[in-house]
Amino acid sequence: MEPKEQEQTVGTGGSGGKSDSPDTHIRIDAHIRSNTYIRIKLCGLSRVCDIEAANELKPDYIGFVFAPGSRRYVPPCRARELKEMLLPGIQTVGVFVREAPEVIAGLLDDGIIDLAQLHGGEDEDYIHRLRELTDRPVIKAFRIDSEEDIRAAEASSADYILLDSGSGGTGTAFDWKLLSDMKRPYFLAGGLDPDNAGEAVRRLKPCGVDVSSGIETEGQKDKSKMAAFVHAVRKEERL
């Protein structure tokens, strides 16, 4: 899943203190854990035809990438236009890499996005600062290379956590065996595609799945792959 710069820790000052709402993720995770429904996020949408496909497929979330260095980058003005075309029941997630918290809060308050996904190594101080500016949900992405990364994800004060491959954005998966002792619900990303999405849901039982490059052909979203991915996930839910 988007973008690649998670290794650098980012804060807003201080010594890594917890958010004022340390129990927020416990409350939300408990809701997820009681629900067998698998949430689907189609990330990196940037064209009108992508939104039209999403409206047909009805994922839970679609993602706009606000990292300027990404080939999937969309400026806020374009994201607003696309959001207006989206069915009301589909939520929009903004993906950010080391963005100023004030910018993220502004996009949330303006209704351009419904949730913020932090993908640049942002630390607990950063999350704390963002929570001071907005009460909208925060997804924190973690690059999973080791059991230490798993422990860090479990301890995050973010509302949701997303586990991605260490190479980030290249469509490669991390070692799923690292998730054998995972205690907290999570969104699974990294290397997912229509061919392995069903297996991932069946084996790992994540609370949600996130895909970007796995539903593309030649760097553009492919409606047939988007449909196949959604079908693969929903099929496992019915089994």
- The single residue of 50, 125, 149, 164 carrying the catalytic annotation is 164
* 115 DSSP assignment: E
Quote the tokens at residue 43: 């990330």
Quote the tokens at residue 223: 């409606």
List CB contacts of 23: < 8 A, sequence separation 6 or more.
none
- The single residue of 43, 50, 123, 149 carrying the catalytic annotation is 43
Q: At what angle do helices 48-57 and 76-85 cross, to 10 degrees?
A: 40
Other beta carbons within 10 Å of 220: 15
* 214 DSSP assignment: G
Return the closest-CA partner of residue 3 out of 118, 130, 145. Answer: 118
Other beta carbons within 10 Å of 175: 11
Q: Respond yes or no: is residue 77 known to be catalytic.
A: no
Q: What phi and psi, each to the nearest 5 degrees, are found at residue 45?
A: -75, 140
Q: Respond yes or no: is residue 207 known to be catalytic.
A: no
- Nearest-angstrom CA–CA distance, 151 and 15: 19
Enumerate the active-site residues.
Answer: 43, 164
